[in-house]
Structures are given as structure tokens and as C-alpha cells.
Structure 1
Amino acid sequence: MAKGTRKIRRTQETRDDGDRKSKKPLAPKPQLPDPLSGTALRGILLRLGLPLLAVWMLCGFIASLVYSTTVKTVLIAIPAVLTVLAIGLVVWAVRQAKKARGVAGILSQVETAEDRKAAIQKLETDFKKNDPAALFARAQLELQEDPRKALATLEQIDLDKVMASVADEARGQRAMIHLVLGEVSDARRLVDGINLSRHQEPRTRAMLAAVCAEAWARSGAAKKATETLALFDSEDPAFEPIRPQLYRAQAYASAHVGDLKGIRRALKRLSSQDARMLGAFMMKRTHPLLQREAKKLLEQSGAVPRKMIIDRGRA
């Protein structure tokens, strides 16, 4: 057994060396949304403009019915002040969007290990040390090689000083890494601070829900996890980039409520994305049902040699 394990390790090391030397892309170039696209800007203007228009109309109507100059002035001043604040908010949003576009541009150029190193260096030099957008991007790049380093990067985001929605995303990213590392209690502590109702963008909300659900399922709140996941249709085309996370959460939630059919359905869907993702369920402390079903699918897929599956299960 030890000889077989050493052989697998040598094979993996050889493969890793080849990957480091290769100039081939590590992964397909991500399709990153443009934060300054017409659709995005139109959405911001509509969310701010329509309520402001309603306030102007209401205050104007009331002002036309009163005779007091003071009251008229107050009624006109209220929407005027709100308009100034809205303009300031739009200016701030555009600045943040430009920054996000810059970060997205850096990430979109990453195709090889060398590109990744260059991108990390650029993020460190071109952005402020505590800039959340740059820290998220750095962590995303570092995660491919060193989850602990990515976690340390995300921990630089001061959750008490950033916007609540940004703090939630930081908690979610950190919790996801803790879950991958098997540190469920740390993940649970983080997800309990996430408020899903703060997030209106469907994909962001679904991603955070998946991380929360997995943490809840693995820490004794499987029913809550199942109810949360039921609110999202993992087959929705909008959720295609985050389906693996949703399937993973569904698998854990199903396991901890004893739903064998749910386990098999989630694992098959995950396997259809990439059978190698099932390897995560072969680690220690994974629910026995999940281990058993994941092992079956891995053996059937042929993605991982049977001997490697046995060694990993006993590691």
C-alpha cells in the first residue's frame, strides 16, 4: 500500500512539474461582466431615479396645495437634497465600477502560472493594500496554489469598515476555503454573520447561499440548509458558473438529512461537471454516505485509478 501511495505521489509531482513548465492555459479565460456596461449603469439609474421621481412628484403635488412659503421650501428642499445625495452615490458607484473593471482586466489576462504571478504583483502595486476588490482578486489567484495564503489575504479585509454586502462576500469566500480545508466550525462562525437578504444580485445571493448551506449542513443545521437551497434552481442558466458549489452544498445537505436519492442526484450532477470534484468527498470526516456514493461514481467514471481512491480513503 505504501509503495502504491509513493508511486501515485511521484506521478502527481511529475504532473505538477509539467504543469508549471507548460505554457498552456490553466483554465479557460473567465467571462467577467463589465461593471460599466450600459445594462449595469441603466440598472443603477433606474434604482435611484424612479424613487427620486416619485419623491419629486409627491412633494411637488403637496407643495401645490399649501400656501405657507416655509412649507413649500421644505417640500422642495427634501427631494433636492435627496437628488444631491443620489448624484454623489452615482459618482461613487462609477468610481468603484472603474476600479472593478481594472481588476477584471487583470484577471482576464491570466492564462498560465506565470500570468498568475504577474497579476498578483500588479494587484499589489497598482491598488491600495486594503482595497477589497484587489484583495478578492488576489485571493482568487492564490487559491489555485495555496488556500492558506488566499485565506490570509481575505482576512485583511476589515469586516467592520467595509460595506455590509462586501463584508458578507468576504465571509463567504473565507468560509468556502475553510470548508474545503475541513474546518467546519470556522466556516459556521463566518456564515452565521451573512445576511442573504442584503444581496439582490441572483448569482451572488445563490453563491453565498450555497456556502452557508454547506456550512449549516455540516454543523448540525441540515434542515435549514435544505430549506435555503430549495429557494434556488441550480439548473437556472444564470447559475451555470456556480453550479458546482450548489451541487456540493446539495450533496452535503442531502447526506445530513439521510436523503440517499438527493445525494446521488447531486453527485451525478457534480460528476457531469468534472468527476475529479468528487475527490473532495473522499477525505476524512466526510459523511459515510457521501464517501460511499462518491467512491462508486469515481470508480465508474475512471477519472481516478481505483488504487488511488482506496489510498485516499484511508489517508
Structure 2
Amino acid sequence: MTAPAAPITRPVAVPSDSLPPLRRRKPPSLHSTLSRVLIALIVIVQVYPLAWLFITSLRTEHDFATGDPFALPKSLTWENYARAFETGNLWLNILNSFIVTMGANVLIVLLGMMAAYALQVLGFRFSKFVRSLFLVGIIVPVQIALVPLFIDYSTINLLDTYPSMIIPLAGFALPMSIYLFSSFFEYIPRETYEAASLDGAGPYRIFGLITLPLSVNTVVTVVLVNSIFIWNDFIFANTFVLSEELKTIPLGLQNYIGAMGKTDWTATFAAVCITITPLLLVFLVLNKAMIQGLESGGSKG
């Protein structure tokens, strides 16, 4: 036995008058056009120096010295990168910058989170006043602390050490970090903490099991924002570092200045490309988490 064939349905013609009118795409407004043009200009201003830096690092020394420095190179070479490692102690400089950056970020995250947790979540009398005192540190210039810190470090034999750079870098970055963490903690529902307290969790357990896991994106935001300034720091390293073994990248780039002020520019540009590559890779990998951290509270405060 075979199943009965399905009836054949023919398409029914629909009159054109009953069809909904097609929506025409509106032309972009003046505000939208100006916004796009402005964004394109900002991207060009930000990307062009990096592109020019990389292209120049591949130019021959003679081509850069005799030709137009902003023109396209006539020939490319990787010799500048080899000469960059031969001229300066680049690996040691990168290692020192990595140690200082990681050490300062650990202090910034731990102290900033705990201070913001005490101010925003636990709360106490005059907590808002104490928070405002922390925020005053944002407007304090770092230059006024150089001489007092140098005197104190020389008294306690802390000059020419990693802590001499890590401590002031972390201290001056704490106000903004506390502000970001406090703004994020403000948007965590109070019912979450109350439920944990009813279950018998103390403040330390709540901090470790609730606040810390929820703050991952904000931690990434704080680390990336501060790492850019710490990695490129020159003023503290130049003031407190006296030996070649502890020089960071900004200080190590001075080795490319030869006698009578002659500078090997192509090797210097190659060294700069090498030293900024770790930051670019980290930023590209964690860019999404940074944006989410800003959207989840860092920018709302």
C-alpha cells in the first residue's frame, strides 16, 4: 500500500496593493557623518605612528640618513633588529620592566580591591570622606615626591632595588584603581552580600568567594591601564636606579646614543618595536575583557 500523495498547492497571487511598502534606507545624517570622519581621523592619528615606526625599523641606516624619513623605504632589512640586541642589553631591560610591572600591578590590585571593599561594601563612619581623600591623590604630581623619596631610600638603603621603583608606581596608581573598584562594587546587589552573611560567611570569605570572582573584568581593566604607564615609566627608574643590571626599557634605550650624541635611529626604532610588542599582544588578547570591565561599573561611577 502506498501513502496518498499530498495535494499540490499552487502559489496564490497577492495583489501589489496589499504588500507592505519597502522601507527606504535613510541617508546618513550630518551628525553621523561627522562622527565617522572624526573616528577615522582618531584611528589614523593613533595607528600612523606605529606603522611608521615599524616601517622605519626595517629601513637601512643609509636610506634613513640620506632619504626622506617619511617616505617609503627603498629596501627592507632585518639587520636593525639584530643590531638592536647587540647594541644594548635588551633582554635584561625587558626582564626588569616585566618584574617592575608585575610587582606594581600585584600591589595595585590587592590594595586597591581591599581598600574599595572596605569603603564601598563594608562601610564605616566617614567612609565617603576617606574615599574623597584617596581621590585627591589623582591630582598630586609625581615630581614632588622624587626628592623626599630619594632621601628616604638612601637612608634605609633602598636605592637601586626593584622596590624603589615598584612602591611609588603602585602608590600613585592606587587612587584611580580604588575609584574604579569602588564604582564597580557599587553595582553589585546588596542582597548578594546579605545572603552570604546569613549563610555564615565572614567579610574575608565574602571577599574571596564573591567579590573577587565578580571583579575579573575590572581587574583586567586596572592592570592594562596601569601597565601602559608602568612599562613606559622613566622618571622613577631614572631617579632611583644606579646600576646597569636594574635598568628598565626606557633607561636601556639610552644605550643607543653613541659618542658625541650620535644615535643609531634604525636600531633604536627596532628596539622600540620589540619592547612595545608585549603590551600590544596583551592588549589585543584582553581588549574585550577591558571593555566589559569599563561597562560593568568602571565608567558608570
Measured against the shorter chain, the TM-score band is under 0.3
TM-score by length of 2: 0.25
Greater RCO between the two (CA within 8 Å, min separation 6)?
Answer: 2
The two structures have a TM-score, normalised by structure 1, of 0.24
